[in-house]
Chains A and B, each alone.
Chain A
Amino acid sequence: MSVLSSAVTAAFGGVLAVLLSFTGSGALASGAVAETIKIGSFLSVTGGASFLGDPEKKTLELEIAAINRQGGINGRLLDLVVYDDGGAADKAASFVKRLIESDQVDVLVGGSTTATTMAAVPLAEKAGIPLVSLAGAVVIVEPVKTWVFKTPHTDRLAAEKIFEDLRKRGLLKIGLISEDAGFGKSGHDQSLLVARNFGIEIAADEVYSAKDPDTTAQLTKIRNTPGVAALFNFGFGQGPAVVTRNVRQLGLTVPFYQSHGVASKAFIALVGAAGEGIRLPASALAVAGQLPDGDPQKPVVLRFQQAYAEAYKTEASTFAGYAYDALHMVVEAAGRAGGVDKAKLRDELERTKNFVGTTGVFTMSPSDHMGLSLSSFHLVEIKNGDWVLLD
């Protein structure tokens, strides 16, 4: 007991020390160099969405260190304050409050998921502080909110990219299987919304929960729906891997599409041979090596990939790219604004034009706070355990 309790005390002490050193260094930095630009971030570094938040945090730390080594923005260094919301919207809201009120950051970057972002939106709007989200759903920027921007492709864009390919191949009747919450739910709703524009009929519409260990029942229903010519799965994490394996188990041979939620090498490693032939929309980062030489994104994604791999010994995922884009977009806007006056920074973010990021080439406008078009997505197919660029 005594051993245990002393261990617990030691662990607690350690945590406290880390926390203290964090706040300590933050206070020192702002005291010594009054002109730092404070970037506040709330990310889902742990919990179910950690595969988003973890690389995002690593990217922010890596890139901010690099920018500071080169002298910062107009001679002003960047200072990052980042909190881990664990994927919980209520925690995200309280961290954002802390970032605005006690850390007094100049700009917000985050959250990792749509739910944590939407919890922060009213706070950012009320405080009048620019927020650049790293989450996917279309609700973040539609309707347009004065202070809110985002860098990832929307789920609607992903659905449109896939439907475009389906129409090209003449596969007009499809089965949709999606996660029943969050990313998958939003993707499902957007898919239903835009399917008609492409002449696509969603003949079977099934869902599964995030931790569902088996989806053969749902897929059997889709298989037994007459006329289904292709299968489309909207989700991320474990679900799409289970679906993929079940598809092969049931011997379904129709063309199989996934969303950009699985555009990481980890997914290919997870599903192995079962993933062969799957098509999905992905950002330039996934197929960096295969981009034609004239592609404006090629040097950007290659440089980032190399820096990330050197620092962390793993491949930079698409999600890491979202954070890269958000940070550099803010940095460029702050450079143009000549400082971090919040209203000026917001205006400059909105004036972002032809900004070459890892996700695409961004051009914002007062009516478009994402700034990406369908062409920023690349359609890829999994072949021999790697992505192959189709367009």
Chain B
Amino acid sequence: MSSAFLQYLFSGLTIGSIYALAGLGFSIIYNASHVINFAQGEFIMIGAMATVSLTGLGLPLAAAIALAVAATVLVGAAVARFAIMPARGASPVTLIIITIGTSVFLRGAAQVLWGKGYHALPSFSGDTPFVVMGATLLPQSLWVLGTTLAVIAGLGWFFGRTLYGKAMLATSCNRLAAQLVGIRVSGVLLAAFALAALLGAVGGIVMTPITFTSSEAGIMLGLKGFSAAVLGGLGNGAGAILGGLIVGVAEAMSAGYLSSAYKEATAFAIILFVLLFMPRGLLGQPGSERV
């Protein structure tokens, strides 16, 4: 294995993890409401920008992160409460359009609040890269990979072991039946948005030392996260992670071995190809459509 290959793999996995974290948020909200939340990228941006501005105020990094995550969760809950729930009976397409409007609103608000410049966060544990067989890996990449693993484990526990998580899954499978057995389904939507915002914020914060952030950062991350979620199979958490990693590694490999001009195109070509033959994505359930 050449050092160049290893380097492409490292950068692909790092960036892929970032896409995966972004994609997970799409899946969770899709499960709870069959809405594709195009404001997911803005949750990522808000988490990152809030952390930057709070550390700028002199807060220690850990406190700034905690506050920024809490703030993003509040924003997520507010989006569900004030933008999605009032339009309850509307079709998913209408709700999707509402989320696009929400994303434009959040982006604009962030521009007014934080300005239009680019911002950086210091790396959590230094900038000295590890050298592995001639390829280099930043400590922050390990933070991103570790966070992704922790999030996967946490979500697995939440949906598999806790009553509330199971209630959310039940609501996504059959809303009416869930309601009949006594689950408060309106609370589930709120919780899904709060959880997606939490994931977005955490992802945004750990990736910022690598990618920088700005009030516009959510657009690209939202798009890539959505691609990851669709590739893996919308609504499937493991699929979103797999999708994110595939997109990330494919981008890095194509930049390395083909031409960097095709870097973005390769990822989208893979997605198109997969969806052509597997319309539900790699891990999507071939289940029946509700009428």
Q: Is A285 an interface residue (CB 8 A)?
A: no
Q: How far is the CA of A29 from the CA of B14 in the complex (A)?
A: 57
Q: Is A127 an interface residue (CB 8 A)?
A: no
Q: Is A51 in contact with B117, judged by CB distance below 8 angstroms?
A: yes
Within 8 A of B (CB), among A269-286: 269-274
Chain B hits for A270, CB < 8 A: 118-120, 212
Q: Is A206 in contact with B260, judged by CB distance below 8 angstroms?
A: yes
Chain B hits for A365, CB < 8 A: none
Within 8 A of B (CB), among A241-289: 241-242, 245, 248-251, 266, 269-274
Q: How many chain-A residues does the 8 Å CB contact rule pick out?
A: 40
Chain B hits for A237, CB < 8 A: 118
Given known A-B contacts A216-B10, A217-B252, A220-B7, A208 and B212 have beta carbons under 8 A apart = no
In whole Å, how far is B40's beta carbon from the nearest beta carbon of chain A?
Answer: 16
Size bracket of the B interface: 35 or more
Q: Is A146 an interface residue (CB 8 A)?
A: no
Q: Is A238 an interface residue (CB 8 A)?
A: yes
Out of B15, B136, B255, name the residue touching A213 (CB < 8 Å). Answer: B15
Q: Is A54 in contact with B116, judged by CB distance below 8 angstroms?
A: yes
Most buried by A among B14, B119, B131, B256: B256
The SS class assigned to the A binding surface is helix
Q: How far is the CA of A221 from the CA of B7 in the complex (A)?
A: 10
Q: How far is the CA of A274 from the CA of B140 in the complex (A)?
A: 15
Q: Is B261 in contact with A180, judged by CB distance below 8 angstroms?
A: yes
In whole Å, how far is B268's beta carbon from the nearest beta carbon of chain A?
Answer: 12
Q: Is A70 an interface residue (CB 8 A)?
A: no
Chain B hits for A206, CB < 8 A: 255, 260
Q: Is B212 in contact with A241, judged by CB distance below 8 angstroms?
A: yes
Q: How far is the CA of A251 from the CA of B212 in the complex (A)?
A: 20
Q: Is A207 an interface residue (CB 8 A)?
A: yes
Per-residue CB contact flags for chain A residues 204-232 toward chain B (1 = under 8 Å, else 0) read: 00111101111011101100100000000
Which 8 pairs between the two chains have the least Cβ-Cβ distance? A213-B211, A211-B220, A217-B255, A50-B116, A1-B86, A216-B11, A217-B252, A217-B256
Residues of chain B touching chain A, judged by Cβ–Cβ distance below 8 Å, are: 4, 7-8, 10-12, 14-15, 18, 82-83, 86, 111, 116-120, 127, 129, 131, 136, 138, 207, 210-212, 214, 216-217, 219-220, 251-253, 255-256, 260-261, 263-264
